[in-house]
Every structure is written in C-alpha cells, then in structure tokens.
Amino acid sequence: MRKGCFLALYRKKTTGETLECSFASASDQNPDKAVLEGLLACIREEYGDTYIDKRIYDLNWLMEETAAGHLLTAVAFTGSGEAAACICLRENPPFYGVGDLCMHVVRKAYRGYGIGTPLVAWIIALPETGRFSAIGSHNATFHTISQRESYACGLRPCGMLFNLYLSQGFVHSHANIGEKLSYAVAAMPLDKRGVSLCMPVEHRAFAADYYRSVGVPVRFLPEEGPAPASGMTVMEDRDHCTLTLCLEVCGADLEDQVSALLARCGGQPMQTATACLELSSPTASWGCRVLTGLGFRFSGLQPFCRGKQYLLLHHPMGMEIPFDQMHIDPAYQAMYDDIRVSFPNRRES
C-alpha cells in the first residue's frame, strides 16, 4: 500500500455495489508522482483541457508546487489502481494562509458510492494542513455538491465571489450559469483566537453570525478616518476581465485611485471588480463607505488569512449577476440571501 494510505469500502446506494478505495496524498513531505498523475487523470476526464488554471496540466509544475509546499493533493485509488477521485488544498492570492479546497472531481464511473465527502475530510485531517491558518472553499454555484461537502466537513458559509471567471469554453458535467462564474465562500479556522474588526454597523450582524458559527470570539473596533495614503495591491486578470483590489489601509487617495482604475478597465466587455478590505485597519469602515459610493456592494467575508480578515465587495460594472439561476444549498441560503439584498438594482434572468 502507498505511504499515507487509508483503505475503506464504499457501497453504491442505488445498486448495493461495493467499491474498495485507498486514499493517498502528495505533499512536500511525500511528493508522490503517482498521486499527481491520478489528479491529472481525474481533471482531464471532467474538464478536458478547459480547466481555468492551465498550469495544472503540466506534471512538472505540479511536482514543483508540491515540493515547495504550495499544493497538497489527495487521490482515491480503486483496488485496480485507477484514480477514482481527487481533491487539493492550495493558497489563492490574495488570501494567503487559507488552504482552499479545489480541483475536486469524482470520476463518472465512481459517482454514487459516497467517496467525495470522505476524501475531503481525509485531506483536511492530514498533518500537513497545519501549515494553513484555515481551510477554505470557493464553491461553484452551478451545482451544490461542493457546498454540501464543505459544510459536512466543518466549513461555514461566509461570502460570495461574483462573476470571477469567464464561463465560455469551460466544459464539465454541469451547465455553466451566466457569462462569468460565481462562487460561494466558506471557511473553517484552524486557530480560534478572537478577532477584532472595523466594519460598518450594517454588516456587523452578518459578521457576528459567521464568527459565532465557527466558535471564534469577535469584537468591533471604533471607526477612524482615512490614513494619509492607501495601501493597495492591484491584481488584474485580463484573460477573465476581473480586477481585484486588496486594501490593507484605506487612505485619503482611495476614491481617486479606485475611480481611475475603474475608468481604465470599464471599457472592457464583461469587466468586473472585487475589493477586499482588511478589517483590523481602523480605516476599513471609512473605506467601505467610499467604495460603496463608487458602486461596490457588500458580498461577505474571506476570513482567517494568516490573522487577516477581509471584507468582500463586488462591483458588477454593468455585468448581470444571475441570482435566480444559481444553485445554492440550504445550508448556504441565509448567507446568500443576506448578500443578495446588497444589490438593489440587480437584474434577474
């Protein structure tokens, strides 16, 4: 048996057939090439060559990312050695410290046996996850499967990332929703020390409910005015027409800086923008009001990023958000409804 394996028997509910599977991992402690080859077999069957991050098709890149400690992979193998399912944990900038559950596929021949959720739970329990400050998940809204699985494994819903990637040409087992893909955010802290947040009064109940759900004490900081200058990182994905602004400090120049960025990008078809405000800064609440005045709307939280808690804001920039078409699991519905009302001029399909 491969190092680090877990062996179990699964039964298909509809037929009673059984499937023996072993779980194996690839990490910097055990960079198992066969596990990464199994990952690629699952990805290629589900997505062909259309997966959004094209780097994953390069086995050498996967090995390098694994050896560097940036990628943790788990694969379920059948008794004959075929890869049946896969899942990864990986940091997604700018949310450093959060091990994001991604690339989760159960191959078609092995669906219905119930191996997906146990595989997610198994990778979360690996000792290598101790390098992360939290486990997170950006769950697709064109189905509810990953939402249900992450909730079953202890993650709790906390936000939405709307219109993030262009959906055209992205092929998989489900139907895409809208011209750009949206995701439901969930997170589970691995460190439950209390947090202090500076955020607008109207969003504090949302935050209090989330932190209560994961057992983390929260207190709210008094608001201050702007700093002399903003501390902002700009990430622009031109392939998917997505602008991300990560604000550690909101300064007096915030409105001018963001207005200029929106004006520069606004002529691009299907352009959207996301802002992330670090909530330990006493300028965050003031900055939220400035960005709201520029057309951004509240879309939740991305917490536990190595001690940083981010407020999420989305600017549609004319792009429709297909709220009424999204598939939202009941466990995520209250969070989704709270965020949906932040978009009063939303267009529904």
Residues 6+ apart with CB under 8 A from 61: 55
Please report whether residue 246 resides in a domain.
Answer: yes
Other beta carbons within 10 Å of 112: 16
Please report whether residue 58 resides in a domain.
Answer: no
Task: Yes or no: say if 121 and 158 are a contact pair by the CB < 8 Å rule.
Answer: no
Chain segment 277-303, per-residue pLDDT in tens: 999 999 999 999 999 999 999 999 999
Identify the burial level of 346 via C-beta atoms within 10 angstroms of its C-beta, where 0-12 means exposed, 13-18 middle and 19 or more buried. middle
Task: Yes or no: say if 230 and 247 are a contact pair by the CB < 8 Å rule.
Answer: yes
| Rounded alpha-carbon distances, angstroms, from residue 256 to 291, 316, 337 | 11, 19, 32
Please report whether residue 214 resides in a domain.
Answer: yes
Chain segment 82-123, per-residue pLDDT in tens: 999 999 999 988 999 999 999 999 999 999 999 999 999 999
Please report whether residue 17 resides in a domain.
Answer: no
- CATH number of the structural domain spanning residue 297: 3.40.630
CA distance 20 to 117: 15
Instruction: Quote the pLDDT of residue 348.
Output: 41
Residue 324 pLDDT level (bands cut at 50, 70, 90): very high
Q: What is the mean pLDDT of the chain?
A: 94
CA distance 77 to 38: 8
Beta bridge partners of 276: 246, 312
Domain that holds residue 282: 196-340
Residue 3 pLDDT level (bands cut at 50, 70, 90): low
CA distance 9 to 22: 9
Please report whether residue 300 resides in a domain.
Answer: yes
pTM: 0.94
Please report whether residue 117 resides in a domain.
Answer: no
Please report whether residue 253 resides in a domain.
Answer: yes
Please report whether residue 10 resides in a domain.
Answer: no
Chain segment 130-173, per-residue pLDDT in tens: 999 999 999 999 999 999 999 999 999 999 999 999 999 899 98
Domains contained in the chain, number: 1
**At residue 1, does pLDDT exceed 60?**
no
CA distance 210 to 204: 10
